[in-house]
Structure formats: structure tokens, C-alpha cells
């Protein structure tokens, strides 16, 4: 049936070759069909649902595109006058040739083929069968009693941290305990952590982390929800305090344990830990999930100069938005840039956004978002606070303006970048972004949190 459809379609196209139309519009359409191109987009997490959209301008909807996804199935051929078509491949390792054929009455068909490889998606192993509440970064709670020791579980009568320790031991309270999705574990200590006498520091003070409790351990974790335990495997890896191991407080870095098991109670973004040491004593730690301040929904600031371009970083002397643009370009200023806590990113554009000539709109105006810059990208983000950068990964995902990528302003939707890195300065609810384009120019964007 599939072959009959294909042959029948091409026969119709051949019969149309006898038609001769000689007008300027037809000449333009001939140019359009000759410049055939298309974009391939991944539409689901598994990487099996693939969207195809022709990027050739089809002003009069006279060009008919046939998209053949190249499988042996009978349901993988579609026709469109421009809107995206989609198909879900089997979830297995395989390579396919996607062919798009453009047909225009009175002209020979034009075809272009691109190869796509599907890799079998295997869901990552979760340490617990009912979900993984540990996944993410955790810190000691910035409050009194965040850590302490006493004669029993949840009893810190021998000693506990005071609220002042959040500041005086800030190098301890900023340490991060990272439980990764793949089951690996990291101590992220930065340049300083809290050191004690057993590590060669008397009196106790902030200092450079001491091996093997310095974050270099190759470590994993296991969470047993039923037993209420977390086990950290890896010499030098730990939670709370480096000296605390099962049944003891070690007296030297050389005594680091290969594995430590903690009693654990997790309640949303709070984790209560207990571990027994010698003499029936227990150390207790209260951790809270560390949510980066970038998480949330952002928009362009509704003010003059919210976006602009110029010859240097933070210099918008070539052009910048005026206060009037907040109203005249309201379809741009209401676009949302969403950083989710799970690391995913979304462009939420609504039914309209600001379109420019490179997207087929001249003069510039509000209009329906153009693929792949239409919010359909499967995207993630990485915020590197130390480096002052935000990286958006996902073809068609962006911040500020869709055309701006590293080192250029793209001239066609088909030139969408797979990844864009912005220079970022975060100050509370304000996010200042800069990105260098060609010729030493920089675009700047000012976003505010909603």
C-alpha cells in the first residue's frame, strides 16, 4: 500500500510537468522548491518521536511536501504544505533515511534526504522502586541544630550547632552533597571546608579540603526506603561531617571508611540523618535540598533597555529597546523562560511571539512562533554559578531572542543551534545576560523573575 501511494503520488507529479506557467510568482516558487531544506527535531525524552518541518518558504501553500521516514512500515509517509509532521520510530538501535520531496505543478519534483540514527532508550536505574527523592544537591540546613551529637537518636544534648555557626562555619554550611540520577555521589566542597584537629588544623577553622575527604572520591549511593537507610560507598565520601563513620569518630584521614550507612528520614526537601558512634552516641544532621536560585519563570524586564546590542558586554549603543516596545512588542515581553528544578528548560511563548525577516516576517511583527523556535524543543540547562554562565541545550531553545547564538545571528530557522551559552549575572530576581556575536558585538538581555 505504501509503494502504491508513493508511485501514485509521483505519477501525479509527472503528469503535472506538462503544465507551463510563466509569471513572476511561479519563478519565485521555482526558486523556493530548488532551495528545499528541512529540519529534524526530537520530540520526546526517548528520542524516538521525530518531527520534520520544511524550512523552505511556501507563501501560497502551492508546494506540497511528501515526507518519507524511510522505514518498512506502511504508515511512515505524510504530506504537508509546511506544518510539521511527526512519526515515532521503534525504540531500538537503527539508522533511517528521511526523504522530503517537494512537488510544484509545472516543475520537476525536488527531493532531499537526511540520515537519522535512533538509539535504544533504556530508562536510568532508580535507587528505589517508588522514585528517587534523594536526587539533587543537599546542604546542611542554615539553622540552629543542623548538626549535633548526643546519647541517642535525635538527641543532640552533648553538643549542637548554633545559629551563629551558619556564618562562622559558612565553609561547612555551603558544602553540597550531590545524589546523581545515575547512582553516583559527590561531595562538592569548593575551595574551603571546616577542618578539625584530626586533619591537622588546631584550632578548628575553614581551610582547604584534606584528602581523601576532599571531594575526589569516586562514590556511589544506595537508598533503602523500606529500611530507612542511605549508604555512601567510596573512601572519603560522607554526609555531614567527614570524621563520623559507623561506630566511631576517626582520628586520622588515613582511617577513612570505604562505606558509611546512615539512618535516614526524608520529608520532601528535608533529610534527617542519624549515625551511631562509639559509646552509644549518635550524630544527627539535618539537610535541605539546594534549589538553585535560577529555578523558576523569567521574562524580559518591562522597561527600556531590556534587550539591546552593542560593541561590548553591557554596551547597547547600537540598538536597545525603548519603553514603548513593552507595549508594541508585548508578544515578546510576555514570553516565559522556565528553568525547572529537574534541570529541564522551556520556552513558553503562547500563541504569538516577535517574528523577524529571517523567519519569513517582513516587516517585523507579532506572529505564530516558527519551528524550531516555537517552544517544542526538548531542552535542558546548566547554570555554572562559579563561571557565571548559563548553557541551554536543545535545538530551538533560547533566551532573549531566537536568532542570537554564540558567535552569530542566524539567518534561517534551519540554522538553530544545538546549544547556546550565555554570560550570566544573577542578582536576586534579576538576571543579566550577555552573548557575543560576530564582529565583536554583544547582545544583552535583562530578565526578571515572575
Q: Which of residues 294 and 397 earns the better pLDDT score?
A: 397
Of 234, 254, 289, which one is at a domain's C-terminal end? 289
Same domain, 96 and 140: no
Average pLDDT over residues 204-220: 94
Name which of 176, 191, 170, 174 is nearest 136 in CA terms.
Answer: 176
Alpha carbon distances (Å) from 445 to 176, 274, 304, 398: 30, 46, 11, 12
**Boundary of a domain, candidates 54, 84, 118:** 118
68 and 110 inside one domain:
yes
pLDDT of residue 31: 56
| 221 part of a folded domain | yes
Give percent above pLDDT 70 in the chain. 89
* Cβ-Cβ contacts under 8 Å for 155 (sequence gap 6 or more): 282, 284
Please tell me the least confidently modeled range out of 80-84, 186-190, 240-244, 369-373.
80-84
For residue 313, being part of any structural domain is answered with: yes
Question: What is the average per-residue pLDDT within 167-196?
Answer: 94
SS3 174: coil
Same domain, 300 and 445: yes
Residue 215 pLDDT exceeds 70: yes
Answer yes or no: is 127 within a domain. Answer: no
0.75 exceeded by pTM: no
Q: Which tens digit of pLDDT belongs to each residue from 75-132?
A: 999 998 888 899 999 999 999 999 999 988 888 899 999 999 999 877 544 443 346 8
Q: What is the rounded average pLDDT of the residues 175-193?
A: 92
Mean per-residue pLDDT, 251-275: 95
Mean pLDDT computed over every residue of the chain:
88
Question: Do 305 and 275 share a structural domain?
Answer: no
Q: Are residues 256 and 376 in the same domain?
A: no
Give the pLDDT of residue 76: 94
pLDDT score recorded for residue 290: 84
Domain that holds residue 436: 296-449
149 within 8 A of 158, measured Cβ to Cβ: yes
* Bigger pLDDT: 155 vs 248: 248
77-80: strand order across its sheet = 77-80, 64-68, 94-103, 110-118
* Domain tally, the chain: 3
Of 289, 310, 330, which residue sits at a domain end?
289
Do residue 252 and residue 328 come from a single domain? Answer: no
Cβ within 8 Å of residue 5, ≥6 positions away: 77
**Better-predicted residue by pLDDT, 57 or 418:** 418
Q: Can you give the pLDDT at residue 277?
A: 96
The DSSP bridge partners found for residue 99 are: 68, 113
Residue 249 and residue 117 in contact, taking contact as beta carbons nearer than 8 Å: no
> Mind listing the pLDDT tens digit for each residue in 373-429?
999 999 999 988 778 899 999 999 999 999 999 999 999 999 999 999 999 999 889
User: pLDDT class for 41, splitting at 50, 70, 90?
Assistant: confident
The CATH number of whichever domain residue 422 belongs to comes to 2.40.128.280
300 and 444 both lie in a single domain:
yes
* pLDDT value of residue 59: 63
Amino acid at each position: 500500500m505504501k509503494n502504491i501511494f508513493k508511485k501514485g503520488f509521483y505519477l501525479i507529479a509527472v503528469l503535472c510537468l506538462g503544465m507551463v506557467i510563466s509569471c513572476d510568482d511561479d519563478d519565485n516558487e521555482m526558486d523556493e522548491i530548488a532551495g528545499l531544506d528541512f529540519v529534524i527535531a526530537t520530540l520526546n525524552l526517548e528520542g524516538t518521536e521525530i518531527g520534520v518541518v520544511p524550512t523552505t518558504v511556501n507563501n501560497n501553500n502551492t508546494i506540497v511536501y511528501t515526507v518519507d521516514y524511510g522505514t518498512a512500515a506502511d504508515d511512515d509517509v505524510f504530506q504537508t504544505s509546511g506544518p510539521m509532521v511527526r512519526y515515532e520510530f521503534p525504540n531500538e538501535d537503527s539508522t533511517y533515511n528521511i526523504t522530503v520531496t517537494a512537488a510544484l505543478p509545472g516543475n520537476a519534483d525536488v527531493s532531499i534526504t537526511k540520515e537519522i540514527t535512533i538509539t535504544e532508550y533504556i530508562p536510568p536505574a532508580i535507587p528505589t522502586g517508588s522514585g528517587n527523592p534523594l536526587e539533587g544537591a543537599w546542604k546542611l540546613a542554615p539553622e540552629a541544630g543542623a548538626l549535633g551529637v548526643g546519647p541517642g537518636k535525635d538527641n543532640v544534648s552533648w553538643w549542637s550547632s548554633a545559629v551563629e555557626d551558619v556564618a562562622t562555619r559558612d565553609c561547612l554550611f555551603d558544602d553540597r552533597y550531590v545524589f546523581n540520577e545515575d547512582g553516583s555521589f559527590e561531595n562538592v566542597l569548593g575551595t574551603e571546608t571546616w577542618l578539625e584537629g584530626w586533619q591537622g588544623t588546631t584550632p578548628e577553622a575553614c581551610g582547604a579540603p584534606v584528602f581523601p575527604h576532599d571531594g575526589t572520591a569516586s562514590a556511589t549511593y544506595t537508598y533503602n526506603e523500606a529500611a530507612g537507610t542511605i549508604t555512601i560507598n567510596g573512601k572519603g565520601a560522607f554526609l555531614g561531617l567527614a570524621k563520623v563513620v559507623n561506630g566511631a569518630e576517626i582520628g586520622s584521614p588515613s582511617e577513612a571508611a570505604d562505606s558509611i550507612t546512615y539512618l535516614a528520614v526524608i520529608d520532601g526537601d528535608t533529610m534527617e540523618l542519624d549515625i551511631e558512634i562509639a559509646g552509644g552516641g549518635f550524630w544527627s544532621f539535618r539537610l535541605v535540598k539546594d534549589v538553585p536560585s535560577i529555578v523558576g519563570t523569567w521574562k524580559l524586564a518591562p522597561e527600556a533597555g531590556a534587550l539591546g546590542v552593542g560593541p561590548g558586554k553591557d554596551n547597547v549603543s547600537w540598538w536597545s529597546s525603548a519603553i514603548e516596545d513593552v507595549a508594541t512588542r508585548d508578544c515578546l515581553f510576555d514570553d516565559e523562560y522556565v528553568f525547572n528544578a529537574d534541570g529541564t528548560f522551556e520556552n513558553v511563548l503562547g500563541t504569538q511571539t516577535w517574528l523577524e525577516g529571517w523567519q519569513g516576517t517582513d516587516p517585523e511583527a507579532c506572529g505564530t512562533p516558527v519551528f524550531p523556535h516555537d517552544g517544542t524543543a526538548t531542552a535542558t540547562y546548566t547554570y555554572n554559578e562559579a563561571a557565571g554562565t548559563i548553557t541551554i541545550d536543545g535545538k530551538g531553545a533560547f533566551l532573549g531572542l531566537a536568532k542570537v547564538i554564540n558567535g552569530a545571528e542566524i539567518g534561517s530557522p534551519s540554522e538553530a543551534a544545538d546549544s547556546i551559552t550565555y554570560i550570566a549575572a544573577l542578582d536576586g530576581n534579576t538576571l543579566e545576560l550577555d552573548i557575543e556575536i560576530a564582529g565583536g558585538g554583544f547582545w544583552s538581555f535583562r530578565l526578571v523573575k515572575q
